[in-house]
């Protein structure tokens, strides 16, 4: 018997339509999930599909309200015994952020798989249909259960925590740096090799069931001559700050001076793609090391941490667990 997979469609390039077969100059979030699926009859051989159009937007317009809606919808639908897993179609720009948010807030061990595409549906050799087909294969696979939220892209399976966008245009743009893929898909068959080591889904302490919004966190990117007054401005508008520091989380003396005076939690990440920030790297005592989370993922964990506490030691602990 075919398993049932719920597709939650949010838009992005996978649902993008252009006037020509070019890869640029198209409108993301133009096709509905049902239209996308009509072009891939093979999906019906793998699973029975229920398609839900959550929104149909460019993923740069994703908001915390949409994240909360997605997590709450998945948590409710996962109770249904007939549902084997979930696929979320999503723009690639912020796909990694939605994936990590869900990795920390979904309370189910059923597979939750995000996918998208780098080329719009109208381009030559569009990558969306294969990515969606493979995502449905993973979402209906027993091997994907209990692995946290996953991302399927160009034949590879990634964990939500380590996946990131690495190119503005290549079809293999979604990757995971030095952490790598945890599995692959080939002709519809799922091959899983690794298990994510950090705590996720039902094992996290984050409960978003009654939430309508997340605390605001600002990300500041350090570079030569970066204006430290922007830190004070960000602190006046946010409940926390993430710094994309240079190297292993470093910044100037003038930045350091202002940071020591801030009263909101400050998490230090890096503008470097790979690598870990350890507490020994920290220049200011009142900061938290982001481990190897990118600034955009550190911001998600800080936003969720702030739903529970503003205590720096407790936040530090969360940055070692998740
Ligand atoms: N701007 C698009 C989006 O993130 C890019 C993509 O989907 O590849 O929605």
**Two tokens, residue 113:** 């798989």
Same domain (yes/no): 16, 154: yes
Radius of gyration of the chain (CA): 20
Same domain (yes/no): 273, 182: no
Summarize pLDDT for 263-278 with one digit per residue, the tens: 999 999 999 999 999 9
Listed in order, strand segments (DSSP E) in 216-264 are 217-221, 240-245
Same domain (yes/no): 160, 253: no
Same domain (yes/no): 128, 231: no
**Does residue 83 sit within a domain?**
yes
Mean pLDDT of 173-194: 97
**Does residue 208 sit within a domain?**
no
Mean pLDDT of 65-81: 98
How much is the pTM?
A: 0.98
The CATH number of the domain where 281 resides is what? 3.40.50.40
pLDDT for the residue 63: 98
**Whole-angstrom distance, CA of residue 210 vs CA of residue 170:** 39
Mean pLDDT of 111-140: 98
* Ligand 1: centre distance to CA 81 (Å): 33
**Does residue 49 sit within a domain?**
yes
The CATH number of the domain where 27 resides is what? 3.40.50.1170
* Ligand 1: centre distance to CA 28 (Å): 7
Same domain (yes/no): 12, 109: yes
**Two tokens, residue 189:** 């068959």
> By three-state DSSP, how is residue 156 classified?
strand
pLDDT for the residue 221: 98
pLDDT for the residue 94: 98
* Ligand 1: centre distance to CA 16 (Å): 9
Residue 13 annotated among the catalytic residues of the structure: yes
What share of the chain has pLDDT > 90, as a percent? Answer: 99
Tell which of 171, 203, 235 closes a domain.
203
Q: Does the Cβ of 93 fall within 6 Å of ligand 1?
A: yes
**What is the count of structural domains for the chain?**
2
105, 127, 128, 209, 223 from 135: Cα distances, Å: 20, 12, 10, 26, 38
Q: Which of 24, 27, 91 to mutate to test the pocket of ligand 1 (most atoms within 8 A of CB)?
A: 91
Same domain (yes/no): 192, 227: no
Tell which of 151, 171, 203 closes a domain.
203
Residue 175 has pLDDT above 90, yes or no: yes
Same domain (yes/no): 138, 63: yes
Same domain (yes/no): 133, 162: yes
Q: Which of 17, 30, 60 to mutate to test the pocket of ligand 1 (most atoms within 8 A of CB)?
A: 60
Which pLDDT band holds residue 1 (cuts at 50, 70, 90)?
A: confident
Q: Does the Cβ of 265 fall within 6 Å of ligand 1?
A: no
Sign, CA torsion 12/63/137/180: positive
Same domain (yes/no): 222, 86: no
Residue 101 has pLDDT above 90, yes or no: yes
- Contacts within 8 Å (CB) and 24+ apart, 27-35: 28/57, 28/58, 28/59, 28/91, 28/120, 29/55, 29/56, 29/57, 29/58, 29/91, 30/56, 31/121, 32/56, 33/7, 33/9, 33/89
Domain assignment of residue 155, given as a range: 3-203
> By three-state DSSP, how is residue 48 classified?
strand
What share of the chain has pLDDT > 70, as a percent? Answer: 100
pLDDT for the residue 65: 98
Same domain (yes/no): 9, 152: yes
pLDDT for the residue 302: 98
Same domain (yes/no): 81, 126: yes
7, 73, 100, 202, 239 from 1: Cα distances, Å: 19, 25, 32, 28, 49
Mean pLDDT of 75-102: 98
**Does residue 268 sit within a domain?**
yes
- Looking at every residue in the chain, the average pLDDT score rounds to 97
Same domain (yes/no): 193, 248: no
Q: Does the Cβ of 15 fall within 6 Å of ligand 1?
A: no
Summarize pLDDT for 42-52 with one digit per residue, the tens: 999 999 999 99
pLDDT for the residue 124: 98
């Amino acid at each position: 018997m075919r398993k049932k997979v719920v597709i939650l469609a949010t838009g992005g390039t996978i649902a993008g339509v252009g006037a020509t077969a070019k890869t640029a100059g198209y409108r993301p979030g133009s096709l509905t999930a049902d239209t996308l699926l009509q072009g891939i009859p093979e999906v019906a051989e793998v699973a029975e599909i229920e398609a839900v159009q959550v929104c149909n937007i460019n993923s740069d317009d994703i908001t915390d309200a949409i994240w909360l809606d997605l997590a709450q919808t998945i948590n409710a639908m996962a109770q249904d015994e007939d549902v084997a897993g979930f696929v979320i179609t999503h723009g690639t720009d912020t796909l990694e952020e939605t994936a990590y948010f869900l990795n920390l807030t979904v309370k189910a061990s059923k597979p939750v798989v995000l996918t998208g595409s780098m080329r719009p549906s109208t381009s030559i050799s569009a990558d969306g249909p294969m990515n969606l087909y493979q995502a449905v294969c993973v979402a209906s696979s027993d091997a994907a259960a209990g692995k946290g939220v996953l991302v399927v892209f160009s034949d590879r399976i990634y964990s939500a925590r380590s996946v990131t966008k690495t190119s503005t245009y290549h079809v293999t743009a979604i990757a995971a740096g030095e952490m790598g893929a945890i599995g692959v898909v080939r002709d519809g068959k799922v091959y899983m090799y690794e298990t994510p080591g950090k705590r996720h889904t039902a094992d996290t302490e984050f409960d978003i069931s009654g939430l309508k919004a997340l605390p605001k966190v600002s990300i500041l990117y350090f570079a030569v001559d970066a204006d430290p007054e922007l830190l004070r401005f960000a602190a006046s508008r946010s409940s926390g700050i993430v710094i994309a520091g240079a190297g292993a989380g470093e910044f100037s003396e003038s930045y350091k001076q202002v940071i020591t005076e801030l009263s909101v939690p400050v998490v230090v990440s890096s503008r470097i793609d790979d690598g870990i920030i350890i507490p020994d790297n920290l220049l200011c005592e009142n900061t938290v090391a982001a481990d190897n989370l990118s600034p955009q993922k550190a911001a998600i964990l800080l936003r969720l941490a702030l739903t529970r506490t503003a205590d720096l030691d407790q936040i530090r602990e969360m940055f070692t667990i998740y």
